[in-house]
Amino acid sequence: MDERSPPEVHNSYLGGGRSPEPQVTWVSPRRTASVASAFCSRNAQTYVLHRLLVATKIAFDELRLAKYVIVEVPPKAVGGFEHSLLKLVQKILALGPQVAILVLPAARQQAHTMMWVNRWNRLELAPFSFQRTCSCQLGRAVAGLHATIYLARSYGSVGEYATCGSIPTTGITGQAALQVLAGAVADLVTPLWDTTSELVGEFGVPWNHLGGGTTLPPGDH
């Protein structure tokens, strides 16, 4: 990638022809970029994770406008990935937004080890550590599902989202992964958004983090 070229970004606004400041920025691989569509009635902008990681010489000044930057990161990565992610996180935090990182092992096949997450937690300069929780505790978007989620963030209290005693789900569909991630985002930004409101996007279903057990329509995920 040419670092002089800006990373891809798509903005979805509150409506009414206005272009307000983005409240939430969603950063993820392409396969989960559509999670932001669940929040199109809110103000959100999206970036492809890889494009931000390699654009080391770009200041990302537009991220100053966001209150939260939520990042979804695959559980498996090349050696040294944690250092690249740390540089990105440090840059974002210096701009002002709060940062949360989500890792959903069950969404990827053959992701039984969490090597880069373990290495991240040992980094001396890491601004926060990963804690393990469950989709029944964070988001609660799919009733009866117990997908492990690793969460690290710059705000909130450690242990706010507990683990559970159920056997973790080891593999979930792409549709369920989108539901789990969208529900998690809804929980993570509740200080900003009215938690009694439904989050409705192009999926055409309500995303209420209080536990609706909704399902996504068929599609390519």
Mind listing the domains of the chain with CATH numbers? 9-188 (3.40.50)
Of 184, 215, 206, nearest to 40 by C-alpha is: 206
Interval 61-86 mean pLDDT = 91
Per-residue pLDDT at 82: 96
Among 22-26, 122-126, 159-163, 196-200, the range with the most confident prediction by mean pLDDT is: 122-126
Q: How far is residue 221's CA from residue 217's CA, in Å, rounded to a whole number?
A: 11
- As a whole number, the mean pLDDT across the chain is 76
d(CA 93, CA 104): 23
Specify the pTM: 0.78
Q: What mean pLDDT comes out for the span 34-59?
A: 82
Residue percentage of the chain with pLDDT more than 70: 70
The per-residue pLDDT for 133 is 93
DSSP tag of 61: G
The model's confidence at residue 216, banded by pLDDT at 50, 70 and 90, is: very low
Q: Which residue has the higher pLDDT, 65 or 19?
A: 65
**Which pLDDT does position 30 carry in this prediction?**
92
Q: Which helix (H) or strand (E) holds 69?
A: strand 68-72
Segment 30-50 shows an average pLDDT of 81
Cβ atoms 197, 186 nearer than 8 A: no
- Among candidate residues 128, 170, 176, 165, the one with its CA nearest the CA of residue 148: 170
pLDDT at 99: 96
pLDDT: which is higher, 104 or 213: 104
Do the beta carbons of residue 8 and residue 50 sit within 8 Å? no
Q: 23 with 67: CB under 8 angstroms?
A: yes
pLDDT tens, residue by residue, 166-211 = 988 877 888 888 999 999 988 888 766 554 344 434 333 344 433 3
Residue 4: pLDDT over 70: no
| pLDDT beyond 80 at 146 | yes
Q: What is the mean pLDDT of residues 67-80?
A: 91
Structure confidence by residue, pLDDT tens digits, 89-123: 999 999 999 999 999 987 665 445 568 999 999 99
